[in-house]
Amino acid sequence: MKVIISNEIKKIVARALQEDIGRRDTTSTIALPPSSKGRAVILARQSGILCGLEVAKEAFLQIDTSLVFKPLKKDGDSFCKNEGIARISGNLCSILAAERVALNFLALLSGVSTSTKKMIVKAKNTRVKIMDTRKTTPGLRVLEKYAVTVGGGRNHRSSLFSGIIIKDNHLRASGCIAGDKLCEEKVEELIKRFRSMSSLPIEIEVENLREFKGIIKYEPDIILLDNFPLSSLRAAVDIRNKKFPEVLLEASGGVNFENVSAIACSGVDFISAGMLTHSPPAVDFSLEMIRVK
């Protein structure tokens, strides 16, 4: 698997380098002759699923196009502690200038892919699909969502434009929910309006079984079960299976490594987990010099 280095990603890398370097790498320019050359290796300090190798390469090449970046793995590969990920050769000042930004991208994106893979493993032997959310680092969504796919997960909508999710605030703002009462006529009217104005699948968020029972009868494409306890998830799945088999169910809210297996076993079709992108543990990498001329 390989990310396409688009103009958007090039700009992300360029901003990161500018942020990290500023006017110059003061330490390297004083400590090293400008013509110093050598080789370095990127090492993993723990095991995981690799992601971000091409982004790391882009960081080095934006600093110095004469650097030679040799990958030893590819995105999606597993790696072990102390295993080599890539070798870089060329000007030492250039290697050191790009080091931290390259490692930061690898740490973040490999953290996302590793967490995604871990969650998928915990949900094994079920039919559920693990998905991300829009809870991403501002400006880095394209990379973090790529990392989810590298880990084996699926992408939810990438923007408000690309998918329809009628959330609780939409329902309240449009009068479909007043206080704690669901106005089913307005829900039906809202769904009809969406179907007449868009070909996108219609997903509606509900917060309890009462709302679920009031909405599923209008057969939206997907119902998002937000923060449902396990007993309510199972009840919703049972209702769907008996009366509305075409409606897909998504569980979300508070999903973590400890509860994802039980949620998956409830029979829902999708689990969306914000933690995959908003709080994945970073994977530790380091760059070590292996030869200096």
Q: Which domains does the chain have, with CATH numbers?
A: 7-112+281-292 (3.90.1170.20), 121-278 (3.20.20.70)
64 as an active site residue: the answer is no
From the candidates 205, 207, 211, 250, which is the catalytic residue?
Answer: 205
Q: How many CB atoms lie within 10 A of CB 159?
A: 8
Q: How far apart are CA 236 and CA 230, in angstroms?
A: 10
From the candidates 37, 87, 134, 167, which is the catalytic residue?
Answer: 167
Higher pLDDT, 180 or 86: 86
pLDDT of 292 > 80? The answer is: no
181 as an active site residue: the answer is no
pLDDT of 245 > 70? The answer is: yes
pLDDT of 4 > 80? The answer is: no
100 as an active site residue: the answer is yes
Question: What's the pTM?
Answer: 0.94
pLDDT at position 2, please?
67
Sorted by sequence, the CB contacts under 8 Å of residue 121 that are 6+ apart come out as none
From the candidates 73, 134, 135, 213, which is the catalytic residue?
Answer: 135
168 as an active site residue: the answer is no
pLDDT tens digit sequence for 144-174: 999 999 999 999 999 999 999 999 999 999 9
From the candidates 37, 87, 100, 154, which is the catalytic residue?
Answer: 100
- Average pLDDT in the 34-54 region? 96
pLDDT tens digit sequence for 212-236: 999 999 999 999 999 999 999 999 9
Strand pairing partners for 224? Answer: 205, 250
132 as an active site residue: the answer is no
48 confidence band (pLDDT: 50, 70, 90): very high
